[in-house]
Structure 1
Amino acid sequence: MELTAEAFVARLGALATPVRMGDIFALAREFTDLPIDGIDRLLRSPEHHQRVGALSIMGKQFTHRATTEARRTELFELYLRRTDYINTWDLVDLSGHHVVGGYLFDKSRDVLYKLARSGDWWERRLAIFATLHFVRKGQADDTFAIADLLINDDEDYVNKAVGGLLREAGKVDRSRLIAFLDRHAATAPRVTLRAAIEHLDPPLRQHYLGLARTH
């Protein structure tokens, strides 16, 4: 099989309509070894489904056991170079935790704090969403720290991600989640708060909802 961006686009165009995300993911699996330049071409496409394919391939390629560290570095650098094309919530969530979080796991995470201060909401969402990789490895420090920076963000797509990651971080360190909520529940966006408290006991959920401002 020819592993090129053009071949992927041709196969994508042959899928039954309406195109289902699962079909794109299955196709991406067949193109897991697509070279970096091919991924880049798909990622820069104006067609959303092609960018979905590119990011799905990136996540699969990054997490594949046979992928070299050099290639993982290339994937990470490509991802950050093309964030202007990764500009919807679903695109961020496809592989941000794998490619960005996975790459930074054993490295300095300063870039996430820079992203958290970005003027583009999708980069701020990426900053918090990438920490899902750390949380799944039992590390919650950066999730709570970045959530502190983003807790009063004015974009709902960021607020939802912050709430979801706080919920996941609470599974690692419940006491820190409680301390975070004690500081922020009264002023946090309601969508953030509802997601963050989802796994708490009902009386505690009601307590924090009672403190919350209306959004």
Structure 2
Amino acid sequence: MESAVTHIREALAALVLPGKAAISQKFFKTGTGEYGEGDIFLGISVPDQRAVAKAFYQEMSLDEISQLLSSEYHEYRLTALFMLINKFQKTKVPVEKEAIAEFYLSHLLYINNWDLADSSSYPILGSYAYEYDREDLLRTLARSDQMWHKRIGVVGTLYHIRKHSFGLTKEFVTHNLKHPHDLMHKANGWMLREMGKKDPDELIRYLDQYCREMPRTCLRYAIEKLDEPLRQKYLKGKI
């Protein structure tokens, strides 16, 4: 009898798009010395991966999801994370949510590109941290020396932002404000922009204090939705 993992691999194989793998490997910087060095793509669209995850997640155990998440193929890992999100969001049993959060933390090694981190951090770990008062989990990641852990910690606060809770976001962004990598500048700016959507005054207060210290990329992301005259003032340092 074929396993659920085999069925998923077969389903994904049928969705491979000619030429997409090469495009993805360039887009996600998989070359020597780049942040996604060595990652391998099959060439499958994200909507198709979500559809496969939705179709199969109920029959998948965490052990089987682990087999996909530890794969060398990027799409297997992302599909596994989509299934994990589905499982986490559908269960109402606290012990099951805890098990999924612990599983996620034990597989951080495989969450090793920005799309993997961004799509899974807040609906799983951010949600768990908020609902079960485990902000320490996100804080440990945001203060890690490992960039992908940092990004998971920072983007994980998006769940808090959507609940109008901004303290963690400001703490983590400030701690990582001068991180050397552009991917962290983008993550920090993105979270500030999302905070501004919920509470513009909160963003303005933060920008007034820190805008002169921000890397340009972070600032541009943070002020993207502001009115143009105000946005220009921040860009030109006239605040």
TM-score with structure 2 setting the length? 0.83
SS in 1 for 2:226: coil
Aligned to 2:53: 28
Cα distance in 1, alignment partners of residues 197 and 45 from structure 2 = 32
The runs of at least 4 consecutive aligned structure 1 residues that moved more than 6 Å come to none
SS in 2 for 1:211: coil
1:137 aligns with 2:125: no
Give ranges in structure 1 of 5+ residues lacking alignment. none
TM-score with structure 1 setting the length? 0.92
Residues 35-77 of structure 1 show CA distances to partners (whole Å, capped at 9, x for unaligned) of: 111111111111111001101111121112x452222111111
> 1:76 touches 1:103 (CA, 8 Å); kept in 2?
yes
Aligned to 1:8: 8
- Report the Cα offset of residue 90 of structure 1: 0.5
1:184 aligns with 2:216: no
Aligned to 1:163: 189
1:111 corresponds to which of 119, 122, 137: 137
> 1:140 touches 1:173 (CA, 8 Å); kept in 2?
no
Structure 2 counterparts to residues 52-71 of structure 1, below 5 A: 52-64=78-90, 66-71=91-96
Aligned to 2:38: none
Amino acid in the other structure paired with 2:11: R
Aligned to 1:42: 68
> 1:52 touches 1:91 (CA, 8 Å); kept in 2?
yes
Residues 139-164 of structure 1 show CA distances to partners (whole Å, capped at 9, x for unaligned) of: 11111111111111111111111101
Cα distance in 1, alignment partners of residues 215 and 152 from structure 2 = 19
Aligned residues between the structures: 211
Identity of aligned residues (%): 35
Aligned to 2:98: 73
Cα distance in 2, alignment partners of residues 53 and 79 from structure 1 = 14
Cα distance in 1, alignment partners of residues 174 and 208 from structure 2 = 12
Give ranges in structure 2 of 5+ residues lacking alignment. 19-43
Aligned to 1:95: 120
Cα distance in 2, alignment partners of residues 22 and 108 from structure 1 = 31
> 1:3 touches 1:31 (CA, 8 Å); kept in 2?
no
RMSD between aligned residues = 1.8
> 1:59 touches 1:94 (CA, 8 Å); kept in 2?
no
Residues 108-145 of structure 1 show CA distances to partners (whole Å, capped at 9, x for unaligned) of: 30121211121211111111111111111121111111
**Higher mean C-alpha displacement, 102-111 vs 35-44:** 102-111
Residues 65-104 of structure 1 show CA distances to partners (whole Å, capped at 9, x for unaligned) of: x452222111111111111110100000121111101111
Cα distance in 2, alignment partners of residues 173 and 167 from structure 1 = 10
Provide closer, same or farther for how the CA distance between residues 72 and 204 of structure 1 changes in structure 2, counting only shifts above 3 A.
same
1:51 aligns with 2:77: yes
Amino acid in the other structure paired with 1:63: Q
> 2:154 touches 2:173 (CA, 8 Å); kept in 1?
yes
